[in-house]
Amino acid sequence: MKVGFIGLGIMGKPMSKNLIKAGHELVVCDFNKDSVKELTDLGASSASCGAEVAQQCGVIITMLPNSPHVRTVALGKGGILEGAKKGTVLIDMSSIDPTESKAIAAELAEKGVDMLDAPVSGGEPKAIDGTISVMVGGKKEIFDQYYELLMAMAGSVVYVGEIGSGNIAKLANQIIVALNIAAVSEALTLAKKAGADPELVYQAIRGGLAGSTVLDAKAPMMMDRNFKPGFRIELHIKDLNNALNASHAVNASLPLTSEVMEIMQSLKADGCEKEDHSSIVKFYEKISNVTVERGTK
C-alpha cells in the first residue's frame, strides 16, 4: 500500500520504518531533513508539504506534537486538504485535544476526506519494536479497512468509537499514568521520611493490589535517580492540558488531574520539564526535605 507519513520525530520515525519493513511504499514529509534522508535511504520517497503527500497517497498518517500542528498540516496552506482527492483518509496518530480531532474531521469531511484519530501509547522503545498500543476513533468501516496497516506498527489496535474517541482514550491513559506516578512518589517519600528503605517497601507492596506497571517502571527510576526521559514532563503537561480542556468542554470535573498538573508546572518552573515524568518525585522530595533512594542512611 502507498502511504503518506508526516512527522518523523521520536515516535514517527520508528513507526514509519516499521511500515517499510512490512512492505508498504512510503512518501514521507518532515522539517528534519536528516530524518527524511534516513527514510529515503530505506526506500521511501519524500515530499515537501502535506498537499504534495496527498497528491500521491490515498491514506496519510500524521504523527505531530499537538493540536495546532495537526490543524496546520491538515487544513493550512500547503496542507493535506489542498492535495487530497475525495475518498482520501487521514489517520492522525498524534495525541491531541479530542474536540480538535472532531473539528478537523468535520472540515475534512466537507471535502470528502475521512479521518481517524489514532493516538498511541508505549513510548519510543515500543515504537521501535512495533508493539505500541493504538486507540482509534472514527467510522468503523474505515477502521476495518486500515486495521492491518496500523497493526504493522503496533502490538494492539483497538476501536473505541466515533471520531475523537481515540484521543479520549489516550487522555484517560495519561490521567491514570500521571496519578499513579504521583501516588508512587507520595508513598515512597513517606517511606523514606519515616525511616524505612523505599526499595524494601517497594518489594513488599508490588505483589499486592498496589502493584502496577507504573510502579514497576517508575519506582526503580526514582530510587536510582535516573530521570532520563522515556516520556518528558513537558509532554505530559501537554496531555493533561488537553484532558482538562476536554473535561471543561463536557462539564466533567477532574480534581486529581488538576492537582498533578500543578505539580508538573512546579517541576517545569524548577527546570525539570525535559526529564522523565518519574521526576514528579522531586516535588515531594522538595516539600518534605528528603531524597527517595535505597537505604535509610
Strand, helix or coil for residue 190: helix
Is 238 designated active site?
A: no
Q: What is the DSSP letter of 35?
A: H
Buried b (16+ CB within 10 A) or exposed e, 1-11: eebbbbbbbbb
Q: Cβ(70)–Cβ(94) under 8 Å?
A: yes
230 within 8 A of 124, measured Cβ to Cβ: yes
Count Cβ atoms below 10 Å from residue 100 Cβ, excluding itself: 22
Eight-state DSSP code of residue 65: S
Residue position matching grid coordinates 542512611: 297
**One-letter identity of residue 65:** P
Active-site residue identified among 170, 192, 238, 282: 170
The set of catalytic residues is 170
